[in-house]
Amino acid sequence: MNFIVNATINNDVQTIFSINSLFYVPEPEEAFRLTVCCTDCVTQQKSLRYYACSKTKDAWTAVSDSVNEILTDDWFQPALLSQLDTMTHKTSDDLSMSEYPVKRWERLKQEDDWAYQVLTSEEHRETVLKVTTELLKEIQSKPELYPDDCFSELCDAIYCKRDAYPAPVDFNHCGASSDKDYLIEYLTTQVTSSERDNHIKLLCILWKLPHALLEHQQPFLLAQLNNVYKQDIAFTREHSVKKTVKTNPDLFGNTQVNYQQKLFVNTSSHRHDAVEYQHYPSPQNPYVCQLIESGQPYVSGASGMTNSFSAIFPLLKIPMSSEQGKELQQIMTAFIVGAAQHSVIEVEHSFALSECCLGW
């Protein structure tokens, strides 16, 4: 069992100001893994902590699985131990839902504003073009590693699932003699294009492409990522589909804002998760309860798109904690939010799980 929670801390005074409940009561001797996403309330610096937790009789143990230069166990670990009892006592019945729908929508609008600023940045646009070029070099320099059949399923998924996920409207591999050649030509054309939204069209492909390549380059790492999806991401979903609502390509984000620059105008109209997926009035899922408790917006659970994109870090040997790694995470987070697929916290949580799994 793997839980992921947010914590607000002040490292200077060595205090945990707030941390989510788990909404889960472990059995005696039962162990679980705890990923803590920490944000320093003074510096706003984010860091990750990983613990193996268990309770024997009346005593909790929390063994650190990682070493972090910013947060040291000499204060954080005992502070966490002192709160584990409280974190595991709360149930879904303790949740107050009265103000959450309004707060959720307000937060989603703030996230849309942030995502739009990220995706309209020329610096971030250039980064997308550069990393696409690196992926093209990887594909073209190792033809024996990436055969044609490596790309058939990928192209089919992009084209056939455009009703569920954003896809470029001009992407159509049907009839191509080689899916690999078609994809290389399409990516090359977009990298050299002067269109202002070429990076958006590339991101529609880049969230899936590294996953397909890693299967051939480092299949054991891909198996670990896939296992994270099955065990730690899929279970975070708890919602019902009320009606079919699609995004408007002229609009942006979970709240479908009408910004000046139409970033998604050349992508498919697809499922609008923030409206279509409604969590149950009395949620039982621990992850959903955590988000409601902390006022964070639930859209569709921890992000599978993020899990897929995370293959890019070992593929191109980019540490997730490096400046380049952080920028790529920021860009993909903005893209997924802009495409109305997830909230920011759902993407951040998925990246945290990937970093823990991959060690990158």
CA–CA separation, 191 vs 189, rounded Å?
Answer: 6
Residue 21: domain span? 2-90
Which pLDDT score, from 0 to 100, does residue 70 have? Answer: 46
278 pLDDT above the threshold of 90 = no
Q: Within this chain, do residues 67 and 136 fall inside the same structural domain, yes or no?
A: no
- Residue 320 to residue 358: CA distance in whole angstroms: 9
Adjacent-strand bridge partners of 252? 257
Asked if 216 and 73 sit in the same domain, the reply is no
155 with 66, same domain? no
Residues 307 and 328 in one domain: yes
- Shared-domain flag, residues 83 and 105: no
Residue-wise pLDDT tens digits, 290-348: 998 888 999 989 999 999 999 999 999 999 989 999 999 999 999 999 999 999 999 99
- Give yes or no: residues 29 and 162 share one domain: no
Number of structural domains (the chain) is 2
Q: Is 306 found in the same domain as 272? A: yes
Taking the mean position of all CA atoms in its chain, how far away is CA 58?
36
Residues 206 and 286 placed together within one structural domain of the fold: yes
pLDDT (0 to 100) of residue 314? 94
CA dist 153 and 146 (Å) reads 13
In a shared domain, residues 226 and 262: yes
- Detail the DSSP E strand segments found in the chain: 2-10, 15-19, 31-40, 46-56, 59-64, 240-241, 277-278
- 309 is a domain residue: yes
Q: How confident is the model at residue 11 (pLDDT cuts 50, 70, 90)?
A: confident
- 95 lies in some domain: no
| CA separation for the pair 140, 190 (Å, rounded) | 17
Backbone φ, ψ for residue 331 (5° rounding): -65, -45
For the cut 80, the answer to whether the pLDDT of residue 269 exceeds it is: yes
Domain boundary among 90, 108, 138: 90
Domain boundary among 71, 90, 109: 90
Considering the domain architecture, whether residues 136 and 78 belong to the same structural domain is answered as: no
* 147 has a pLDDT exceeding 60: yes
Give yes or no: residues 55 and 140 share one domain.
no
